[in-house]
Amino acid sequence: MAVPKLDELLVGKKMEPRYMEYNWRDIALYALAVGAKKKDLMYTYEKYLKAIPTYGTIPYWGTVNVKPYQWMPLPASMLADEIIKPTIAFLNMDHEIIWHKPIDPIKGTFQWQDEITDVYDRGEGKGAVVKTKVLVRDEAGQAVCTNYSTTFFHEAGGFGGKPMPKSDIVIPDRDPDYTEDDYISETQNLLYRLTGDTNLIHVDPDYAKNMKFDEPIIQGLCSFGFS
């Protein structure tokens, strides 16, 4: 099957503008979904409430309260999926968030527009990588945070695009500075799903098996919030 020139077709493409209203219940639910404990009342009780900063990732892969309505998450990287269908699988490789101001924990509105910033060709049979940027603003138009994400499409390589650059992150060859043990419930994926990630791979056993997993898997952005 001929692979289309994904870089020429995708770089600079944007999704339609979207927005999402939220309130303190959404903030508290998110905290519980990423592991808040009984003692963490500053994240779960409106009397003291603060928003966990990673709540700013919700617009990237969320559906709950998002307008225009969408029943499944639809970030800009999925524009590649539309071009290379039938796609068997894709995978979120990494996620980075940069904060510009604290998130209002009581209520607010997020508005954003996803944009594809780069596409890399890993070669024939090795897949393609799509990088996206999501600048999230509040109802006053002030920047709240910026999400950067990387998605890997297994079947899309070999279109003659530029190669994936080597990572400039160096992992130190020594013991970690800090470690912590935590508990992830067997229903954590179901709880996190209520924050907005309605992707079927996290809830539907048959769908998960069709995607080559033994059972529904936990959301990557859920573990991101835990960390």
In the chain, what are the domain boundaries? 6-164+185-226
pLDDT at residue number 58 = 97
**Spacing of C-alpha 67 from chain mean position:** 17
Alpha helices in 85-199 (DSSP H): 188-193
Name the pLDDT band for 72 (thresholds 50, 70, 90). Answer: confident
Q: Which residue has the tokens 């527009």?
A: 113
- Residue scoring higher pLDDT (78 or 197): 197
Average pLDDT, stretch 150-162?
A: 88
68 upstream amide cis, omega within 30 of 0: yes
- Out of 3.40.50.720, 3.10.129.10, 1.10.357.10, 3.10.310.10, which CATH number does the structure's domain 6-164+185-226 have? 3.10.129.10
Name the pLDDT band for 88 (thresholds 50, 70, 90). Answer: low
User: Does residue 158 carry a pLDDT above 90?
Assistant: no
The answer to whether the beta carbons of residues 209 and 223 sit under 8 Å apart is no
pLDDT at residue number 37 = 95
DSSP 42-94: HHH-TTT----GGGGGHHHH--TTEES--SS---TTHHHHHHHPSP--EEEEE
User: Does residue 141 carry a pLDDT above 80?
Assistant: yes
